[in-house]
Chain A
Amino acid sequence: MNQAINTHAIIAIYKFEMARTLRTVWQSIVSPVISTSLYFVVFGAAIGSRITEIEGIPYGAFIVPGLIMLMLLTQSTMNASFGIYFPRFTGTIYELLSAPVSSFEIACGFVGAAATKSIILGLIILATSWLFVPMQIAHPFWMLGFLVLTAITFSLFGFIIGIWADGFEQLQIIPLLIITPLTFLGGTFYSTHVLPPFWQTVTLFNPVVYLISGFRWAFFEVSDVSPWVSLAMTLLFMVMCVVTIWWIFKSGYRLKK
């Protein structure tokens, strides 16, 4: 074998991970769709009857991009972190470490599969929302772009957590204690413009604000910050994750003794 990319390995890892998703279809696809629908019913119908619209958008439709992001972030992180943590837990990681694969190829396989699953999930939730409210997508390519970029970025982030975690508790802590709160506070259910000025400034330190804002702009051309800023922030976070992963494999952190 030469120095070229080991595509067989990327495909093998990707297929292995996708097979795992299919085996756990209830947990990985059906349950997020159901919980999103519940959010939709509770927030959209109950609160939507009081708040009819935000920035000219019907409330039910306004929360759709936020809900998709909420699922995209938590599911990408959890799926990718579990994907790499499990071989560490069972010990089968020995095979990945002893194989002629680069860190890039390993990450491609795991992150690619986790991102694929999140994207499928995001599209299913989008389709489901059509059952509840009429939707419009002003910029389909930007919408898809944000969807794919966010899925990849947070799968990379999840991959890092899966390597960092030393137990199932740590594995759950980041999605539950950091990502979910940041998403709820990042404008999933409201526009940050409704906040007092001080809290608007604080919100700008929440990276999720940029993701939701950009994604919502792609639907309704309404945003808290410029879509270009959103895009730049997403890419910045992605680059940070890639560098971290590169360092992890270079140093063998938590992988090699």
Chain B
Amino acid sequence: MPSIISINGLSKTYASGFQALKTINLDIKRGEIFALLGPNGAGKTTLIGIICGIVNASTGTVQVDGHDIIDDYRAARSLIGLVPQELTTDAFETVWDTVSFSRGLFGKPKNPAYIEKILKELSLWDKKDNKILTLSGGMKRRVLIAKALSHEPQVLFLDEPTAGVDVELRKDMWQVVRNLRDAGVTIILTTHYIEEAEDMADRIGVISKGEIILVENKVELMRKLGKKQLTLHLQKPLDAVPAELAAHKLELADNGNELVFTYDTSAERTGVTALLSDLARLEIRFRDLQTTQSSLEDIFIGLVHNSAGAAA
């Protein structure tokens, strides 16, 4: 699949000397939903800022649909819509005016029918004549999305779009995002709600301390890193894992009342059958068993921890 955004050797060191981005190389595929995950201060917003023209890069280049973001900024930027993390809106303008303003700013002729469509999709239509300062936080967030969509962008950046947004609104918002993806818009989002990324994204990138430490297809990532755990609740506690079971790499938990077996669901042989038959042979009985699968969140925490450990 051809990439719509291609980032090469991008780095950013702020005037204070803080290096927000080390060397970033990343390609975003046309039409995908790409989730950029990373802890606070990892460089997500800086990266988005550079692509959108708000932050100057120190080195490296970014191309949007083949247009360099510096030399050919008009073409590059007119393809991009940005929903910033902060709720930065005007106060005294009406919803209709501010969205129409954005369309004009991005060089598009008036199209009231299109603005009406966006406002209706985002449930803002009945607020169109309200001043923005009278709206709730969630509504302001919608206004920012409407502004970003006003010029029919090919690429949409959503920087923490659901921060401080209630569940109902969040659902609506993701529906809008899905509709956009279906219409062929490429979406790059950052979020703290990892379950959202797990739910929405086609690909996941993890950024930590200014470096992209992983980019992977979500399904692939879940499969590769997704570990399953089998927990056996024993009838009688054990002091130690019996030597005969060493090959299974078991762990004791809950004061010896539980045996935990970690296995890879994608492997040809998971080892569950062998373990169970070994346990039967050693006459270790259990009351109950349960399996758990690691979520993207566990994977994420594991990754960031590892990279932090490696850096230290």
- List residues of A whose CB falls within 8 A of some B CB: 1-3, 6, 8-9, 11-13, 15-16, 19-20, 23, 90-92, 94-102, 252, 256-257
| B52 in contact with A12 (CB, 8 Å) | no
| B74 in contact with A3 (CB, 8 Å) | yes
Chain A min CB distance to B47 (Å):
13
Complex interface bits, B264-300 against A, C-beta within 8 A gives 1, otherwise 0? 0000000000000000000000000000000000000
In the assembled complex, B53 has its CB within 8 A of some CB on chain A: yes
Residue in contact with B90 in the complex, picked from A2, A90, A94, CB distance below 8 Å: A90
In the assembled complex, B78 has its CB within 8 A of some CB on chain A: yes
| A100 in contact with B78 (CB, 8 Å) | yes
Chain A min CB distance to B126 (Å):
22
Residue numbers in B under 8 Å from A92 (CB-CB) = 88-90
In the assembled complex, B147 has its CB within 8 A of some CB on chain A: yes
Could you tell me which residues of chain B, from 34 to 84, have a CB within 8 Å of some CB in chain A? 49, 52-56, 73-78, 80, 82, 84
Residue in contact with B105 in the complex, picked from A9, A19, A23, A90, CB distance below 8 Å: A9
In the assembled complex, B193 has its CB within 8 A of some CB on chain A: no
In the assembled complex, B92 has its CB within 8 A of some CB on chain A: yes
- Give the docked Cα–Cα distance between A8 and B78 (Å): 13
Chain B min CB distance to A24 (Å):
9
In the assembled complex, B107 has its CB within 8 A of some CB on chain A: yes
Residue numbers in B under 8 Å from A91 (CB-CB) = 84, 86, 88
In the assembled complex, B101 has its CB within 8 A of some CB on chain A: yes
- Give the docked Cα–Cα distance between A102 and B93 (Å): 24
Could you tell me which residues of chain B, from 94 to 139, have a CB within 8 Å of some CB in chain A? 97, 100-109
Residue numbers in A under 8 Å from B86 (CB-CB) = 91
In the assembled complex, B241 has its CB within 8 A of some CB on chain A: no
Residue in contact with B54 in the complex, picked from A12, A13, A94, A102, CB distance below 8 Å: A94
Residue in contact with A8 in the complex, picked from B80, B88, B93, B108, CB distance below 8 Å: B108
| B93 in contact with A1 (CB, 8 Å) | no
| A8 in contact with B74 (CB, 8 Å) | no
- Give the docked Cα–Cα distance between A2 and B53 (Å): 18
Residue numbers in B under 8 Å from A2 (CB-CB) = 74
| B78 in contact with A97 (CB, 8 Å) | no
Q: Which 3 A-B pairs have the closest CB atoms?
A: A12-B104, A91-B88, A100-B74
| Nearest A residue (CB) for B82 | A98
Residue in contact with A11 in the complex, picked from B56, B104, B106, CB distance below 8 Å: B104
| A101 in contact with B105 (CB, 8 Å) | yes
A-B contact list, 27 entries, CB within 8 Å: A1-B75, A2-B74, A3-B74, A6-B107, A8-B103, A9-B104, A12-B100, A12-B103, A19-B97, A90-B90, A91-B84, A91-B88, A94-B88, A95-B82, A97-B52, A97-B53, A97-B54, A98-B52, A98-B80, A99-B107, A100-B74, A100-B75, A100-B77, A102-B74, A252-B56, A256-B56, A257-B49
Residue numbers in A under 8 Å from B53 (CB-CB) = 97-98
- Give the docked Cα–Cα distance between A100 and B109 (Å): 14
Residue numbers in A under 8 Å from B49 (CB-CB) = 257
Judged by DSSP, the binding face of A is helix
- Give the docked Cα–Cα distance between A14 and B173 (Å): 32
- Give the docked Cα–Cα distance between A20 and B108 (Å): 22
Chain B min CB distance to A102 (Å):
8
Residue in contact with A1 in the complex, picked from B15, B88, B107, CB distance below 8 Å: B107
Residue numbers in A under 8 Å from B101 (CB-CB) = 12, 15-16
| B73 in contact with A100 (CB, 8 Å) | yes
- Give the docked Cα–Cα distance between A98 and B82 (Å): 8
In the assembled complex, B214 has its CB within 8 A of some CB on chain A: no
Could you tell me which residues of chain B, from 140 to 164, have a CB within 8 Å of some CB in chain A? 147
Most buried by A among B78, B84, B106: B106
| Nearest A residue (CB) for B84 | A94
User: Besides A8-B103, A8-B106, A9-B104, 12 other CB < 8 A contacts?
Assistant: A6-B74, A8-B109, A9-B105, A15-B104, A90-B88, A91-B86, A92-B89, A95-B147, A97-B54, A98-B53, A100-B74, A257-B56
Residue numbers in B under 8 Å from A23 (CB-CB) = 92
| B107 in contact with A100 (CB, 8 Å) | yes
| B109 in contact with A98 (CB, 8 Å) | no
In the assembled complex, B91 has its CB within 8 A of some CB on chain A: yes
| Nearest B residue (CB) for A96 | B105
| Nearest A residue (CB) for B110 | A8
| Nearest A residue (CB) for B144 | A95
Residue numbers in A under 8 Å from B108 (CB-CB) = 8
- Give the docked Cα–Cα distance between A9 and B54 (Å): 17
Residue numbers in A under 8 Å from B102 (CB-CB) = 95
Known: A1-B74, A3-B74, A92-B90. A99 touches B106 (CB 8 A): yes
Residue numbers in B under 8 Å from A257 (CB-CB) = 14-15, 49, 54-56
Residue numbers in B under 8 Å from A97 (CB-CB) = 52-54
Residue numbers in A under 8 Å from B15 (CB-CB) = 257
Chain A min CB distance to B143 (Å):
11
| B54 in contact with A256 (CB, 8 Å) | yes
| B107 in contact with A8 (CB, 8 Å) | yes
Chain B min CB distance to A81 (Å):
18
